[in-house]
């Protein structure tokens, strides 16, 4: 299934392929501030429909995750990194995906502060 999404102002638009079967809420220092509900997919399942120039990137701590956000409105639609096996992954912020009933999702809580 193809899902579409965007930042608040619409400058960053994307499509992502896959079945949304739940979300993850992380309590690390950045996720708790952003309030993201994350859905992890292979990076190749994410297609940016807008210009890369509309995105900014923030990294911190070990600098292994690229937290991508709109350079205009500041909304965080996704992040990029690798899983423990070295596969390229994207963490989609489900709050930026069109037509999602967030209340219907099973949310798994991850203790990112302990990592």
Concatenated DSSP letters for 18-70? S----EEEE-SHHHHHHT--EEEEEGGGEEE-S-GGGEEEE--TTS-SEEEEE
Domain count, the chain: 1
Q: Which residues span the domain enclosing 30?
A: 2-114
CATH code at 9? 2.170.150.70
Q: What are phi and psi of 52, to 5 degrees?
A: -60, -25
Question: With a threshold of 0.85, does the pTM exceed it?
Answer: yes
Which two structure tokens, joined as six digits, stand for 54? 């509309």
Please list the pLDDT of the chain residue by residue as tens digits (115 residues).
999 999 999 999 999 999 999 999 999 999 999 999 999 999 999 999 999 999 999 998 888 899 999 999 999 999 999 999 999 999 999 999 999 999 999 999 999 888 7
């Amino acid at each position: 299934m193809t899902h579409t999404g965007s930042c608040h102002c619409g400058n960053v638009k994307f499509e992502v392929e896959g079945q949304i079967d739940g979300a993850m809420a992380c309590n690390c220092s950045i996720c708790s501030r952003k309030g993201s509900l994350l859905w992890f997919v292979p990076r190749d399942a994410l297609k940016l429909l807008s210009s890369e120039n509309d995105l900014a990137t923030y990294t911190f701590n070990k600098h292994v995750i690229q937290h991508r956000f709109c350079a205009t409105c500041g909304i965080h639609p996704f992040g990029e990194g690798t899983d423990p096996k070295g596969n390229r992954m994207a963490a989609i912020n489900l709050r930026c995906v069109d037509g999602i009933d967030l209340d219907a999702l099973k949310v798994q809580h991850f203790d990112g502060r302990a990592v």
